[in-house]
Amino acid sequence: MARILRQILSCKGVEAFFVTLESALKARLLTRAGWAWLRAHVNGEGREAMELARSDADSGLESLLRWRLRGRRLRVRTQVRILGVGVVDVLIGERLIIEADGKDNHEDDEHRHKDLVRDANAAVWGYATLRFDYALIVHEWELVEAAILGAVAAGHHLR
């Protein structure tokens, strides 16, 4: 697995490497020896990605969000359990929920309704929720980032 990850870094760049690395960690596909080998055989960008990588992201979209927000000095956590809401994709600070909606779990009316109920429950508990789909996160990052930073500037991430 380590050699494949190094090849992804070489061919696809650090974002793809980071997303794939977190997926490999989540699936427990990278051994300690593989980790050590990888660290010794990647460049500075690869080592930066390895330092940020965790095994708790539930999707590549969550990983991509964390990677792209890394320089913003925000407390970004993934897969956080919130009383009365459940597990959310990303929590920024203490009160800003970011939901990264992949196509598989969020495209029909029933799932959409469940998402809206969760968002309403989060609001009852004092949370603000921003919800983005795959296309927004991947192809319109500037808009997503502006929305997140606007919510942070308004203090929605604070207690």
Domain regions of the chain by residue span: 2-52, 60-153
Architecture of domain 60-153: 3-Layer(aba) Sandwich (3.40)
Does the structure show a pLDDT above 70 at 107?
A: no
Lookup result for tokens 């190094």: 6
Average pLDDT over residues 121-142: 96
Predicted TM-score (pTM) of this structure: 0.89
Does the structure show a pLDDT above 80 at 65?
A: yes
Q: What is the pLDDT of residues 14-29, one digit of tens each?
A: 999 999 999 999 999 9
Q: How far is CA 33 from CA 5, 27, 125, 126, in A?
A: 14, 16, 44, 44
pLDDT band at 105 (very low <50, low <70, confident <90, very high): low
